[in-house]
Amino acid sequence: MYIGIMSGTSIDAIDAVLVSFDDSGTHTQPTLIQQHTHPFSSALQQALNRLCHSGDNEIELMGQASHQLAIEYADAVQALLEHADINADQVTAIGCHGQTIRHRPNQDHPFTLQIGDHFTLAVKTGINVIGDFRSKDMALGGQGAPLVPAFHKAVFQNDKHDVVVVNLGGIANITYLPTNTAKAPPIIGFDTGPANTLLDGWIRHVKHKHYDMSGAWASQGTVNQDLLTALLADPYFAQAYPKSTGREYFNLDWLASLLPNGQQLNDFKPEDIQATLAELTCITVADAIKQISDSAHVYICGGGAYNQKLMYGLSHHLPNYPFAATDMLGIAPNWVEAMAFAWLAYAYEKRISGNIASVTGASKDTVLGVKYSFN
């Protein structure tokens, strides 16, 4: 059994899953044994949000937050094991993504930085931790992201039709899985742009809520076409893949910098901005899918799968594509990413490549991760 831990760009909570894997058939079969969502403490949440932007005394804040994050990860693991009635010595390893505070794959000296003290997590839980999944891919010339396509391939690729998996997390990303044949084209995956990071950020700014439940607030607004056109003109959306991004790029400062006609944020109805941001996600995701396949079956995962405004918008922009949440594939949308990092720990132990070079742009497929031993 393996544990997967994920805390994404929305910085809302820690998702932890306990998973077993059966690789005796043609596809890896994961079984979700137990799941647990562990809210961040408010102090840690505030620190992580601060670390996503440049500021004073960053190193001091980063060191403290990294250690505190490991403590809260360990608390999540302990609760998970208690719910499952499983002992730590029955778990082979924890796959831990850590919390991304910078992702700069296109600089002269590219880097990505995830915090979370893996040795502290290993010692506190008594379980070996596999972490630092992105660095080796970047050393091989890749973007270091997205990493979930290798898991998607292992569990979702189909012998009869193309599949596109859409993850609506803080950032939206897609994985194109061509029909599994000897002459199949390469797998493609990339970040399409913002999803919940802008929606959550805006409702937090205006209404002091953590997220827009079911997209209800966005549904009260009307899309502002001038604003939408200005946002869609950002060069990231036209950039060729491989590509990846994060909340250090797509944030409320980005939104304010692109307002049309010299307007300010308070010149718009707040709910209209929320509706426009939701439409931005739907259009950029749908356009990316249309570029890749005209017949794929589309499956949605991530927190955005529970946002009815996003789901309706995507289905509207993809009328000719079979469309559903990943429940239809046997995994609930909110557990796919955490399960992916359990699988990456499994892949490390089994010496299976955790990246896909055609996705990230790395020079080759390779085993990802570093082991942090508790003993």
Q: Please identify every stretch of the chain with a pLDDT value under 50, giving residue numbers as ranges.
A: none
Instruction: Give the model confidence (pLDDT) of 337-349 as tens digits.
Output: 999 999 999 999 9
The alpha carbon of residue 130 and the mean position of all alpha carbons in its chain are separated, in whole angstroms, by 18
Q: What is the three-class DSSP state of 369?
A: coil
Structure tokens at 133: 């999944």
Domains of the chain: 2-143+338-372 (3.30.420.40), 148-333 (3.30.420.40)
Q: What's the CA gap between 12 and 195, in Å, rounded?
A: 14
Tokens of 336: 């796919």
- Scanning 142-195, the segments in alpha helix (DSSP H) are 148-156
Q: Locate 201 and state its tokens.
A: 């950020």
CB-CB neighbours of 145 under 10 Å: 28
Beta strands across the sheet bearing 188-194: 188-194, 171-177, 163-168, 297-301, 323-325
Token pair in block for residue 220: 């009260």
Query: Smallest Cα–Cα separation from 218: which of 288, 139, 271?
Result: 271
Three-state secondary structure call for residue 171: strand
Q: Tell me, what's the pLDDT at 52? A: 86
Q: What is the pLDDT of residue 12?
A: 84
Print the SS3 string covering 33-102: EEEEEEECCHHHHHHHHHHCCCCCCHHHHHHHHHHHHHHHHHHHHHHHHHHHCCCHHHCCEEEECCEEEE
**Peptide bond preceding 30: is omega within 30 degrees of 0, i.e. cis?**
no
- Do 108 and 101 contact (CB within 8 A), yes or no? no
Task: Compute the distance between CA of residue 135 and CA of residue 194 in angstroms, rounded to an integer.
Answer: 23
The pLDDT value given to residue 26? 57
pLDDT at 53: 84
Rounded Cα distance, 347 and 10, in Å: 26
According to DSSP, the β-strands at 2-6 and 93-96 are parallel
DSSP 189: E
Cis bond leading into 146, ω under 30°?
yes
Q: Which positions ≥6 away from 240 have C-beta within 8 Å? A: none
Surface-to-core class of residue 351, CB atoms within 10 Å of its CB (0-12 exposed, 13-18 middle, 19+ buried) = exposed
Task: For residue 9, give the DSSP letter.
Answer: T
d(CA 197, CA 201): 6
Give the model's pLDDT for residue 27. Answer: 66
pLDDT one-digit tens code per residue, 233-258? 999 999 999 999 998 899 999 999 99
The answer to whether 2 and 127 have CB atoms below 8 angstroms apart is no
pLDDT tens string 149-163 = 999 999 999 999 999
Rounded-to-integer distance, Cα 151 and Cα 331, Å: 12
Q: State the pLDDT at residue 51.
A: 93
Residues in the chain: 375
